[in-house]
Amino acid sequence: MAVPPDSVGIIQPQQFRWDAPFALQCGETLAKFELVYETYGSLNAERSNAILVCHALSGHHHAAGYHDAADPKPGWWDACIGPGKPIDTRQFFVVSLNNLGGCHGSTGPLSDNPATGKPYGPDFPMVTVSDWVRSQTLLADHLGIECFAAVIGGSLGGMQAMRWAIDQPERLRAALLIACTAKLSAQNIAFNEIARQAITSDPQFHDGHYRSMGVNPDLGLMLARMVGHVTYLSDDGMRSKFGRELKSGDLNRGRDVEFQVESYLHHQGRSFSSQFDANSYLLMTRALDYFDPARDYDDNLVKALSAAQCRFLVISFTSDWRFSVAHSKEIVNSLVEARRNVASAIIESEHGHDSFLLPIPRYFDVLKAYLNRLTEEARDAG
């Protein structure tokens, strides 16, 4: 296929190696680590036009463009990143990485543990959003980026942007928090726990040592993804997409898959279980559950956000019931109370939490306008 003209084109992932000990929040230390990342666009002479894109639960470094001309699909946020797109690569130098603990090339459960010479598997230490932010600062140092124009993320990616703002206040000018929350609700945690339970109770999980047994907890991962997927969509969105349509012509009143929505979920689940590492999934969902920046500030989100210096854009979607509009409002209200510079937008969408991945016109207009203003202000100040 021909690469479209508004694509960032063929992209070569790069590797960043950190060969010194890296202490994690859990108390354990990685002797060294690698991060796989991609960049789109060019860093300007002032090194002031860099944007960091942080990925969500099941994301990775490949956010835009194609790995080769035969690639059937571009990166996961290709609609948003490219020449003329909301994150305009004619203006910005975009950095996108796979997080520590991931399974797409960065050091994680699939990597060899230098202490044993064997893959970490379930022994990979617990990582937190704070750990990710610190590892990302090392990558930024390596790339010569002292201060990002913006750190952007949806969902778990937004939590990283929030942590950047609080933990590294002088290293970003803007944090864009999309479909984000300041902390998970009990219901959110419950769904994550169900996903973990599905994985760990799969007899092929073998306490996380499935790889060395030559198997994979496919059914557990499939179930985990099916649960997750339903929470990413909305009731209305599923109604429009599937209604009560049957896979075959009429109810045969049997026990097999019959409604379209069932076969869709099975497909999603199966395809995920062939692509994602179970131990990574457990790590990522735990990082979500533990995220709670207010915790270090007397459970006071206003106090936590008062540490930030950057400006904020907070975007939520009307039908998102995983991290609902109320979650974003809590962030916005706390930022207002902390007297930070904050803009916010609530986008009408029936696509639930997944909206943050979709090219919804008003959403993209808001992103584009906000980022354009950042560029203009930097130019005026320069």
Q: What are phi and psi of 88, to 5 degrees?
A: -80, 115
- Burial classification of residue 73, based on how many CB atoms lie within 10 Å of its CB (0-12 exposed, 13-18 middle, 19 or more buried): exposed
Q: Which is nearer to a copy of itself, 98 or 128 (CB)?
A: 128
Q: How many C-beta atoms lie closer than 10 Å to residue 34's C-beta?
A: 17
Please name the residue ranges forming H helices in the chain. Answer: 129-143, 156-167, 186-200, 218-232, 235-241, 260-273, 278-290, 301-306, 325-337, 361-381
Q: Which is nearer to a copy of itself, 233 or 371 (CB)?
A: 233
CA–CA dist 58, 56 (Å, integer)? 6
Look up residue 259 and give its DSSP letter.
B
Paired tokens of 311: 């400006």
CB of 151 to a copy of itself, least distance (A): 24
Q: How many C-beta atoms lie closer than 10 Å to residue 364's C-beta?
A: 17
CB of 178 to a copy of itself, least distance (A): 20
Residues comprising the chain, all counted: 382
Q: Which is nearer to a copy of itself, 159 or 371 (CB)?
A: 159
Q: Which is nearer to a copy of itself, 73 or 253 (CB)?
A: 253
In Å, how far from its chain's centre is CA 325? 18
Q: Token match 């649960």: residue?
A: 227
CB of 91 to a copy of itself, least distance (A): 39
Q: Which is nearer to a copy of itself, 260 or 309 (CB)?
A: 260
CB of 235 to a copy of itself, least distance (A): 4
- Residues engaged in binding a copy of itself (CB under 8 A): 25-27, 122, 126, 128, 183-187, 189-191, 193-194, 197-198, 201-203, 219, 222-223, 226-227, 230, 233-235, 238-239, 241-244, 251, 253-255, 257-262, 265-266, 269, 282, 286, 289-290, 292, 321, 324
CB of 215 to a copy of itself, least distance (A): 12
Residues classed as catalytic = 155, 320, 353
